[in-house]
Structure 1
Amino acid sequence: MENGTLMRVSRILYRNPIVVFGGLIQFDVLSITDEASMENMFQIHRQTQMRLPQIELYVEFETVEVQNDIDIHDDKAAVDEGMNSDSEEDFEATYEAGDEDEDGDVGVEAAAENVVVYPSSSQPMDVPPFMRELDLEAMHAPEFPEYANIGIADPEDGEFRIGMEYSSRKSVVAAIRNFTISKGVDYEVYESEPRTFYAKCKMYGHGCDWLIRASLIRKKGCWKIRRYNGRHTCTIGTISQDHSKLDSDTVADAIRPLVETDPSIKVKSIIAEVQSWFNYTISYQKVWLAKQKSIANVFGGWEDSYQALPWWLSVMVQKMPGSVVQIETRPLYSGNEEAQGVKILHRVFWSFNPCIRAFRHGKPLVQVDGTHLYGKYKGTLLVAVAQDGNQNIVPIAFALVEGETADAWHFFLRNLRMYVVRKDGVGMISDRHESIRAAVNRSGDDWQPPRAWWMFCIRHIGSNFLRAFKVPHLQKLVVNIGYLRTVEVQYQL
């Protein structure tokens, strides 16, 4: 406080890392306003801590005029005096402690009940609710409770013990599954309820009495082993090739660090890693499926990606002004009724501002083509490329469409002409697809002389010629004809 003014916290911000092309990271600034926003911050940190280990917090202050500055000085002096006093009476008057237990320790519950915090009249800021409520038990909770005790039995002999506690149902089931895999045995689930998990050895009653039962302890918010019969006594041998409990979900959780580090890791490499961890060689199909699940867990699934697409494109335009995005959607129908507030992505066209500016300084030539997408939702990617003075290929525009239809090509060429290829006298090279021909004819004079000249790609012509006539040496002659320069010759009749 200086000259009758106080500085108080106006906003608490943190930076959310966003991975863009090439592995670069940009940051989106988000505010912390309540408990939900704090949980969201930690959730984001768990997902991004491999790339950014720290949470970056920023505090903004604002100036507050103080009326009763004498009272504030008096309050501050009283607090300072109490804090610096060596008197036992002053200390006990300031802090009320709970009763000591028989070991001389202060009872946590009693101490918590006796801590009283009165609002200070000298505090000018409105403290958010999450700063006024203290959860003393949370101080001793694990940082990421959903990952606590996953896959852990007793570290001494690898066996369970009655009374062992786990943070969640998922963690205790994962521990039982991993125990079973490591021991080369198997179990059957006899009871699986939201508050109980009960399993027995597959050989139960036939030479083995192994069983385990875990239940939810509601007061403590944890799961506890309530019944355990000890070691397996069955004579089943180790499964040599695969294990029924080593399913794709288990493998997906195990390989998550590998996928976070290298999403393009080969399936064969994962098989080798799983074999070294669990001593089982699992099938290619199971590992492939586990990798897809792990990628979805780390980076989001297909549905999440499509939901994030409008937001991603909007952020791209904000971070890169001058970029262009055009989206076409279709309504969703439930029977004959249109669903409100829900749209289906139909087509999207985009171009980055650096690509748009690059075309202005390159050759007046553009080539367009399409390639099929083989992901979950299929479709076609349309691309336009240009060439600079050093013969380098420069991509200038992209579109996701339903296929190489006349409507899709018209959508792409219209936006390409409107936002990217705006100068006249350009040449457009493509294959001889009938959909492109129809789109060019529908575009009016946008892709007609003298504004543009439409030309055919000689490589496609040669490929089509060979497919039709099956004569390779004639194909070479056709390609060479395409590379000859055109010479204007006047004939006198």
Structure 2
Amino acid sequence: MVSLARSFHLEHIDVVIETRLTQSSNSIGNTNRKPCDVTFSSPGEGEESDGDDEQDDLLPKFCPHVDKVFISTSWTNGITHVGQSFEGRADEFRIVLRKYAVECGFRFKYLKNDSVRITVVCTMRESKGCMWSIHARVLHADEFFYILRNKLLTRPSDVVYDLKKDYGLEISYRVAWLGIMKARGEMFGAHSISFDQLRWYSNSVMENNAGSYINIDYDDQNHRFVRYFISFKACIDGFNHCHPLLFLDDTFLKGKFKGNLLAAIAKDGNQGYSHS
């Protein structure tokens, strides 16, 4: 109060002191008010005023503040990362998304909106070029809704375009591809190193899962990997209790060294793998 009065250069202020008596039942609700006059000397009269410095020092003592935390503050943590799951499926994801947009202060529109997948973009995508978007879909493993990446892998053409657009640099497709391969090797390990670790993996399997069958086939003259077959002991034993039905399927490997991954599956789900 003193600091506030001095900031307005007041020389006179009325202070009302109110005393409430609660000891006697006859005095409940009665108050005694006694106004008193307080006079301040203006700056320059008597002592020198410290000005703003004194005001800043006294203000916290007479005017404490309590920070207000709104209930909606936690809504910004509703959406955090790729891979985040929502057990309530599409309905829960929509609710969390709306709260997130309200607290962050933006509007969105649905490109896809059903019980299986939801794709959302910013309403200013066309007008101001806002590229914010989010995509979520249900995974049948547990029927939860998951936030997914728009593009799972960075393509060399994307790198060529981004470098040209952001930095004015022109590079060839091959240079971009080599850069991506090197970056993936730093993050996930090189393909050549992973093939070399097959010996360690085979020894570890035989030590911890005795009775398994593993075969590594490689070219001694050229020192090149040919194929790799593995069947765990539990799978071998399981085939004795399966129906006499066997399913074979393979998939192409898209890494540096190509090849195929072949899987043999019985009706009850026991598997054996062959990589070549």
Answer yes or no: same fold by TM over 0.5: no
Greater relative CO (CA pairs within 8 A, separation 6+): 2
TM-score by length of 1: 0.21
TM-score by length of 2: 0.36
Greater Rg over alpha carbons, structure: 2
